[in-house]
Amino acid sequence: MFPELGQLALVCALLVAAVQGVLPLAGAQRGRMAWMAVARPAAYLQLGLVGLAFAILSHAFATQDFSLRYVAQNSNTLLPMVYRYTAVWGAHEGSLLLWALILAAWTAAVARFSRRLPMPVIARVLGVMGLVAVGFLAFLLFTSNPFERLLPAAVEGRDLNPLLQDPGMIIHPPMLYLGYVGFSVPFAFAIAALLDGQVDTRWLRWTRPWTNVAWGFLTCGIALGSWWAYYELGWGGWWFWDPVENASFMPWLAGAALLHSQAVTEKRGSFRGWTLLLAIATFSLSLLGTFLVRSGVLTSVHAFAADPTRGLFILMFLGAVVGGSLLLYALRAPNENDGAPFAAASRETLLLANNLLLSTACAMVLIGTLYPLLADALSLGKISVGPPYFALLFTVLMAPLVALVPFGPLTKWQREQASRPFAMLVPWAGLAVGVGIAAFFLAPQGAWKVAAGLLGATWVVAGTLRFLWTRVRSQGNRFTAEMLGMTLAHAGIAVFLVGALLVEGLAQQRELPLAPGQSVTLGDRTFAFDGVVHREGPNYIADRGTVRILDGNDRLVTTLHPEKRRYASGGQVMTEAGIAAGFLGDAYVALGEPLGGDAWAVRVHRKPFVRWIWLGAALMGLGGFVTATDKRFRRTGVTA
Amino acid sequence: MSEGRSNAARFLPLAIFFALALLLAAGVWLSRNPNREALPSPLIDKPAPQFTLPVLHEPGRTVTLADLRGAPFVLNVWGSWCPSCRDEHPVLTRFAETKRVRMVGFNWKDERADALRWLDQFGNPYWLVIADIEGKSAIDWGIYGAPETFLVDANGVIRWKHVGPLTDALIQGELVPALDAIDPQGRKGSR
């Protein structure tokens, strides 16, 4: 009974979204107030309906209703309660429902917090978001219905993929989707501006916090995914450049360019074309990411690959949304030279370089991700583009960006004497180079990476502190949330650089057979293996190892329990690494295969500064959130 | 809109997207064949792994790979806990009734009582069922899910493999041709 109600709620939500997508847009074109006024109530109603559907699916999971195909495929009587709720978004249909729910929530939030905007603007924005919702709800209902019945009902469910039975995985998808879907707000504003024919900087100011918040969520979502891969996949890597990761990274890069470009357009009126195009591109890449992950075009080893109608549907949807937006852009984009003129040496130029570098990096990731598909389509054989391509090109593109970061905030808008910011930064560049050289000679291994990481980090931190100092000294009290957010995010880059390059340069690992009583030493830590015992979990049996970590003086630091879990339902074997986390580095142990007797193949790692990768990402995300709180964004009057 | 000047550069993003969409359409078109990226198992055309496993119906008796040599056989991995195996069951039964080849059931990580009850309830399409309760032999076969099906020739070499439930189309389109290639005599239905 309940599932049919859920289905009905989705059908109604689709109808409401269609009304929300058509009437307000038509009303804005024709100046009909009554039609435009439909937008807000429709947005709230849609949230209620999609929320109801989501609640009903969650209820079906909680009560183990195996008469629903989706529940039977992704749950099991042994599944612990908390994972029954997270299993709702554990596979294709449910993640799409979560997507639709988050879109409805963002739409309702826009409806709620847009009182000061002119009615035609808000009607167009909510209308565009309604059209996006139509696409997703139709996709859900026609190709991926989570409420499909299974007749006869299954006695037992197949279980949630054990990879996803993990706390990190509970919040990773919602965070990611909050980011992806959040970019629909600047996108809708860009479309509204193109339809209207003018890019009003006051509306743009209203959009900026939304972009920053979406980008902050996306940053946290990506970082959580990376952290999860680090401890769950069992071999100590934190980024693999695989298509699913790239799918989330592309909108992140475009989004980073967008929020800088928006700042220029809002403050100086320049870069209107860039801002509109980046807003379209960022959301389009979010959709493309969904397409790549959900259509099975790139990852057809997954279960959802079998259905090409899904791929075709998303492709048509993508074609309509992105093709339509870009056509609109081509026909109606404003002239680039509308804004205040600027000289070659100016903050505008630096931010233009920022836009170019981030966009190029994004294109580079896109090409690398799709190249195997191109090769396959042209029958050139099956090629995979690996980390060497990505790592090299990414480093080449990001190095100049890191070099330019400290200049940005210190350089004046419009016109600058090139020597002024240089003079302010020369001592700090000297310090950074000194640190880099010292690191090069002191590093026990990976000297180039360690030196590059510390040089880059020192440069960015010192340059950012120099900006803070200038700000505090000259204008004392005028330190806005926007500046604080920028400072945090830029500091995050430095922290990330330390983590990423030091762990690449200094990590140590060994894979070796160990019998109980044997030990292995890596650097100043000794890993003493005490053997493996059997243990029963709620829905798995595990081989649980005990490894004592000893410091240089043979004193016990901590005891780790790496596991190999075999899940009862599907027989899938999962590795749970044992990690002694530390601010300055992790000790990491994973069990390999049993070797006969009591001996096991054991993998041990030292991962110096690996936490800094996620700490840096967290700072960047926090920077996005803090920026969004700036009071200036909530003023409507025109300021200089 | 103050000016209608549309220079070529403005259409560039649209053109790039159009090229991208064509590529993605090609991807969708290619993915119609679900086996496109199914990497050939490293075991194909290699000798099947050795095993010694008990017979489900007679726990005292064990069977090794050598016992099965001399004629091709199909090894079908299943478990009473696996919903897709139940979907596959009628397909398997229809194929078994043609008596084209020996069907060996590989009962994977199951309880003996559950497995026997399952076969009683739905019917036993297998010529022989071996039981791998702990799943150790399954690791040698590279099995990572049920159902999964292997074709092994008379010399104990793996000739074909399919991950996921079999369908009538798959059996007629892939399994039977593979079988005809290694065992032309069997085509007359002598077994």
- In terms of domains, do A410 and A548 share one? no
pLDDT tens by residue, A147-177: 988 877 777 777 777 777 888 778 888 899 9
Q: Which of B35, B81, B89 is the best mutation test for A, with the most CBs of A within 10 A?
A: B81
Task: Kindly report the nearest CA distance between residue B49 and chain A, in angstroms.
Answer: 18
- In terms of domains, do A565 and A602 share one? yes
Domain annotation covers residue A321: no
Residue of A nearest to B108 (CA): A571
Residue of B nearest to A367 (CA): B20
Q: Which pLDDT score, from 0 to 100, does residue A169 have?
A: 77
Asked if B54 and B136 touch (Cβ cutoff 8 Å), the reply is: no
Binary contact (B23, A319; C-beta < 8 A) = no
Q: Does the structure show a pLDDT above 90 at A41?
A: yes
Q: Is A569 on the interface with B (CB under 8 A)?
A: yes
Residues of B in Cβ contact (< 8 Å) with A242? none
- Preceding amide of A538 cis, omega within 30: no
Q: Which pLDDT score, from 0 to 100, does residue A340 have?
A: 74
CA distances in angstroms from B186 to A302, A443, B50, B76, B181, listed in the order given: 36, 69, 25, 19, 10
HEC string of A107-126 equals HHHHHHCCCCCCHHHHHHHH
Mean per-residue pLDDT for A25-44?
Answer: 92
Residue of A nearest to B37 (CA): A300
Q: Report B:54-93 residues touching A (Cβ under 8 A).
A: 79, 81-84
Domain annotation covers residue A392: no
Averaged confidence pLDDT in chain A: 87
Domain annotation covers residue A247: no
Q: Which pLDDT score, from 0 to 100, does residue A424 have?
A: 87
- In terms of domains, do A456 and A523 share one? no
Binary contact (B6, A197; C-beta < 8 A) = no
- In terms of domains, do A1 and A140 share one? yes
Binary contact (B109, A291; C-beta < 8 A) = no
Gap between the Cα atoms of A573 and B143, Å rounded: 12
CA distances in angstroms from B127 to A388, B96, B122, B147, listed in the order given: 51, 9, 15, 17
List the domain boundaries for chain B.
Answer: 52-188
- In terms of domains, do A3 and A69 share one? yes
Q: Which pLDDT score, from 0 to 100, does residue B186 have?
A: 54
Q: Is A535 strand, coil or helix?
A: strand
pLDDT tens by residue, A585-612: 889 898 887 877 888 888 899 999 999 9
Number of domains in chain A: 3
Could you tell me which of A293, A282, A281 has the C-alpha nearest to residue A247? A293
Residue with tokens 């339902």: A569
Q: Is B113 on the interface with A (CB under 8 A)?
A: no
- In terms of domains, do A415 and A503 share one? yes
Q: Is B17 on the interface with A (CB under 8 A)?
A: yes
Mean per-residue pLDDT for A189-216?
Answer: 89
Gap between the Cα atoms of B190 and B174, Å rounded: 21
Q: Which of B31, B35, B78 is the best mutation test for A, with the most CBs of A within 10 A?
A: B31
Query: pLDDT-based confidence at A130, cuts 50/70/90?
Result: very high
Binary contact (A300, B37; C-beta < 8 A) = yes
Q: Is A298 on the interface with B (CB under 8 A)?
A: yes
Q: Is A302 on the interface with B (CB under 8 A)?
A: no
Q: Which of A199, A290, A304, A373 is the best mutation test for B, with the most CBs of B within 10 A?
A: A373
Size of interface A-B (CB pairs under 8 A): 104
**Mean pLDDT: which of A237-241, A282-286, A523-527, A554-558 is highest?**
A282-286
Q: Report B:42-61 residues touching A (Cβ under 8 A).
A: none
Q: Which of A66, A143, A309, A326 is the best mutation test for B, with the most CBs of B within 10 A?
A: A326
Could you tell me which of A407, A427, A409, A428 has the C-alpha nearest to residue A418? A407
Q: Is A329 on the interface with B (CB under 8 A)?
A: yes
- In terms of domains, do A119 and A31 share one? yes
Domain range for A481: 405-507+613-617
Q: Which pLDDT score, from 0 to 100, does residue B36 have?
A: 43
Q: Is B75 strand, coil or helix?
A: strand
Of B1, B13, B23, the CB nearest to A377: B23
Task: Kindly report the nearest CA distance between residue A594 and chain B, in angstroms.
Answer: 11
Q: Is A376 on the interface with B (CB under 8 A)?
A: yes
Q: Does the structure show a pLDDT above 60 at A399?
A: yes
Q: Which CATH class is domain B52-188?
A: alpha beta
Task: Kindly report the nearest CA distance between residue B82 and chain A, in angstroms.
Answer: 7
Q: Which pLDDT score, from 0 to 100, does residue A387 have?
A: 77
Q: Report A:157-176 residues touching B (Cβ under 8 A).
A: 157-158
Q: Which pLDDT score, from 0 to 100, does residue A414 have?
A: 81
Q: What is the pLDDT along chain B (191 residues), one digit of tens a residue?
A: 334 444 777 888 899 999 988 888 887 777 665 544 444 556 777 888 888 889 988 888 888 888 888 888 999 999 887 777 887 888 888 888 888 888 999 998 888 888 888 888 888 899 999 998 877 788 788 776 678 899 998 888 888 888 778 888 888 888 888 888 887 665 444 33
Domain annotation covers residue A525: yes
Of B21, B109, B135, the CB nearest to A319: B21
pLDDT tens by residue, A295-345: 666 643 333 344 667 778 888 898 999 999 999 999 888 766 666 788 888
Q: Is A555 on the interface with B (CB under 8 A)?
A: no
Gap between the Cα atoms of A286 and A362, Å rounded: 12
ipTM above 0.85, yes or no: no
Query: pLDDT-based confidence at A639, cuts 50/70/90?
Result: very low
Residue of A nearest to B6 (CA): A331
For B8, which DSSP code?
Answer: G
Q: Where are the beta strands (DSSP E) in B28-157?
A: 52-54, 62-64, 73-78, 102-108, 128-132, 148-152
Domain annotation covers residue A241: no
Percentage of residues of chain A with pLDDT beyond 90 = 45
Q: Is A380 strand, coil or helix?
A: coil
Binary contact (B30, A377; C-beta < 8 A) = yes
Domain annotation covers residue A375: no
- In terms of domains, do A553 and A600 share one? yes
- In terms of domains, do A453 and A583 share one? no
For A320, which DSSP code?
Answer: I
Look up the pTM and report it. 0.80
Of A158, A305, A370, the CB nearest to B23: A370
Asked if A265 and A272 touch (Cβ cutoff 8 Å), the reply is: yes
- In terms of domains, do A587 and A527 share one? yes
CA distances in angstroms from A608 to A458, A525, B82, B85, listed in the order given: 18, 12, 44, 47
- In terms of domains, do A20 and A103 share one? yes
Residues of B in Cβ contact (< 8 Å) with A302? none
Handedness of CA A194, A199, A200, A201 (dihedral sign): positive
Domain annotation covers residue A578: yes
Q: Which pLDDT score, from 0 to 100, does residue B144 have?
A: 65
- In terms of domains, do A126 and A3 share one? yes
- Per residue in A21-34, is it b (16+ CB within 10 Å) or e — as a string? bbbbbebbeeeeee
Q: Is A333 on the interface with B (CB under 8 A)?
A: yes
- Preceding amide of B147 cis, omega within 30: yes
Gap between the Cα atoms of A628 and A382, Å rounded: 45
Binary contact (B14, A318; C-beta < 8 A) = no
Q: Which pLDDT score, from 0 to 100, does residue B5 have?
A: 45
Q: Is A323 on the interface with B (CB under 8 A)?
A: yes
Q: Which pLDDT score, from 0 to 100, does residue A262 have?
A: 92
Q: Is B108 on the interface with A (CB under 8 A)?
A: yes
Handedness of CA A188, A191, A193, A195 (dihedral sign): negative
> Looking at per-residue confidence, does A205 or B191 come out higher?
A205
Binary contact (B144, A297; C-beta < 8 A) = no
Task: Kindly report the nearest CA distance between residue B161 and chain A, in angstroms.
Answer: 15
Q: Which of A74, A322, A383 is the best mutation test for B, with the most CBs of B within 10 A?
A: A322
